Structure 1
């Protein structure tokens, strides 16, 4: 049964956020349609959802597909062009929810935590954060458009092309006795469980408004994240740290490798919408671990490896810094002499 016949359309519906959001909105009683450019090889349409192909380059066809929906969720908008497309939905849909990124916040000098009111990057830049920031400005300036813009940290959850937590998950699977972390293991960089992103999307759909909200997990240090993953996996390992950045051979490397803490405030989401996580951090880790272990095992059976499951990790950080086990063993042996 749908709730009063409410309909939702998810652009990028077969991606990581799209799948989690579809499941959440279906559970809330929405009739859900997933829009995608082409089906992903591993994409499965959730029971009860519809699926349609949408060419985003054809604005007329896109708007026609979106017309009349109670909520449109856009998980793949990243440029002012996409913002101009979505702006034309004012008066044609009930509300919008658009995924942005915390990378729009202007640095250096970030406060701890960062509120949504902190300035965003300059208009004249031409990179991914600047494109997202320009997208946000255009949408928020559109009269009569209830658009919720969600600024995420680094996503984690099933079906992603990247999983920062893999740096610890693989070590546990490999039964490593220790891990070495740079920056004294104190780095904090926001992560966002997709199940909780989907929860906040559902709240925004229920309470339309023009707003900007952060969405992130608890602000743990990288050492705390490693300890939580090892505990969830029942693995005992020593976490060894040193000051300063990671070494060129990868010793100390981790994807949270920033010298100053980056923490998102969640006060606004809690105050305005009563947000609370749909899944605890440990339960989100269990979802990550179960899916990642199975996906990597399948890739290895086909002659590949974890790099095929998480190509975006390699694209962001390169191939040379991951899992330098010999360097770790030598460092720990030297430290204990």
Structure 2
């Protein structure tokens, strides 16, 4: 039996980052507690996900005193669901009470336009006084980094992918392979680049931060593949042959050419700092990360009767329901191009 001589608490522990991090930390010898807001029978038992050393508790972060009591004395606290400066004020009270803190942020905090390629962690973040997601994350970061004596690592992720997520941009290609589509049509010449982050590799960087506590900000993203390259890798992993057809400019109103990474200018995160400071290397190669999420997503959608919108509701919230799989428009476009 593994001896767990260090203790970690993961706020939002039953989400996709939380589960991946729990697996990584238990393998490293931590006893892990998953904190979650609502009852989760699938994660509430010791040994959840087949892992020794995991327990689960229900905690409401709106009750700051109860939250702090639950976190007190842990060697590591990981917060996957901190979004606002109020959450930052809560976490700031952990200075001197826990060994170290890792907080998940987002690359959405970077000021645009004019982003460099790649974007270093030193690039300015937005400072607008609004209540939207990027402004909230940026204010959260500032609050934590200004707290004396708080060893907090802030990780700026790209678009997450991994098992148990409610959003999976890669579904744009996975479903096409399942539907045996002979081609996919992509806008922007298929050259768009937008950062993605495999949760297994986010978990790896969390573990490295825990080994060397400090106050820092780090990007965490996969290799900066183009949309066309992502599609080709997914099709290859799934053993599906399909032609990738591209055209210049943005996607069309009927959805032709749409993909969730459809940006006119490349957005790429620098990983130099994580490599230099912590020796970061991806724990899971990109194709293996794809296999992990495909092996989870395909049965999950099947169990939902094929209603992928119920499995990935955040995709609909971000992009709407009508642009994802415009097969008739693709067929008409390809037929016209081959005349």
Residues in 1 aligned to 2:155 and 2:287: alpha-carbon distance in whole angstroms = 23
- Whether 1:197 aligns to 2:202 is yes
Q: 1:38-49 maps to which residues of 2 (within 5 A)?
A: 38-40=38-40, 43=43, 45-46=48-49, 47=51, 48-49=53-54
Residues in 2 aligned to 1:109 and 1:39: alpha-carbon distance in whole angstroms = 44
Q: Deviations over 1:138-185 (max 9, x none)?
A: 000000000000000000000000000000000000000000001110
Assess if the C-alpha contact under 8 Å between 1:123 and 1:134 holds in 2: no
Q: Deviations over 1:206-225 (max 9, x none)?
A: 11000000000000000000
Q: 1:88-237 maps to which residues of 2 (within 5 A)?
A: 88-237=93-242
Unaligned runs of 5+ in 2: none
Bigger drift between 314-323 and 35-44 goes to: 35-44
| Secondary structure at 2:304 match in 1 | helix
- Whether 1:243 aligns to 2:248 is yes
Residues in 1 aligned to 2:103 and 2:139: alpha-carbon distance in whole angstroms = 13
Assess if the C-alpha contact under 8 Å between 2:6 and 2:31 holds in 1: yes
Residues in 2 aligned to 1:192 and 1:39: alpha-carbon distance in whole angstroms = 28
Match of 1:73 in 2: 78
| Structure 1 residue 322, shift from structure 2 partner | 1.3
Residues in 1 aligned to 2:294 and 2:282: alpha-carbon distance in whole angstroms = 19
Assess if the C-alpha contact under 8 Å between 2:43 and 2:56 holds in 1: no
Residues in 2 aligned to 1:40 and 1:326: alpha-carbon distance in whole angstroms = 41
Residues in 1 aligned to 2:301 and 2:73: alpha-carbon distance in whole angstroms = 41
| Secondary structure at 2:291 match in 1 | helix
Assess if the C-alpha contact under 8 Å between 1:72 and 1:95 holds in 2: yes
- Whether 1:254 aligns to 2:256 is no
Match of 1:25 in 2: 25
| Structure 1 residue 41, shift from structure 2 partner | 6.4
Residues in 2 aligned to 1:103 and 1:63: alpha-carbon distance in whole angstroms = 28
Q: 1:293-312 maps to which residues of 2 (within 5 A)?
A: 293-300=298-305, 305-312=307-314
Match of 2:328 in 1: 326
Residues in 2 aligned to 1:42 and 1:311: alpha-carbon distance in whole angstroms = 20
Residues in 2 aligned to 1:243 and 1:159: alpha-carbon distance in whole angstroms = 35
- Measured on the aligned residues, the alpha-carbon RMSD in Å equals 1.0
Match of 1:285 in 2: 290
| Structure 1 residue 125, shift from structure 2 partner | 2.9
Bigger drift between 37-46 and 15-24 goes to: 37-46
| Structure 1 residue 43, shift from structure 2 partner | 4.2
| Structure 1 residue 2, shift from structure 2 partner | 3.6
| Structure 1 residue 336, shift from structure 2 partner | 1.2
Residues in 2 aligned to 1:197 and 1:7: alpha-carbon distance in whole angstroms = 19
- Whether 1:34 aligns to 2:29 is no
Residues in 2 aligned to 1:109 and 1:299: alpha-carbon distance in whole angstroms = 42
Q: How many residues align?
A: 333
Residues in 2 aligned to 1:53 and 1:229: alpha-carbon distance in whole angstroms = 37
| Structure 1 residue 286, shift from structure 2 partner | 0.4
Assess if the C-alpha contact under 8 Å between 1:14 and 1:39 holds in 2: no
Residues in 2 aligned to 1:50 and 1:319: alpha-carbon distance in whole angstroms = 37
| Secondary structure at 2:56 match in 1 | strand
Residues in 2 aligned to 1:6 and 1:320: alpha-carbon distance in whole angstroms = 48
Describe the shift of the 1:167–1:41 C-alpha distance in structure 2 as closer, same or farther (beyond 3 A): farther
Match of 1:10 in 2: 10
Residues in 2 aligned to 1:17 and 1:39: alpha-carbon distance in whole angstroms = 18
Q: Deviations over 1:274-301 (max 9, x none)?
A: 000010000001011111111001001x
| Secondary structure at 2:57 match in 1 | strand
TM-score when scaled to structure 2? Answer: 0.97
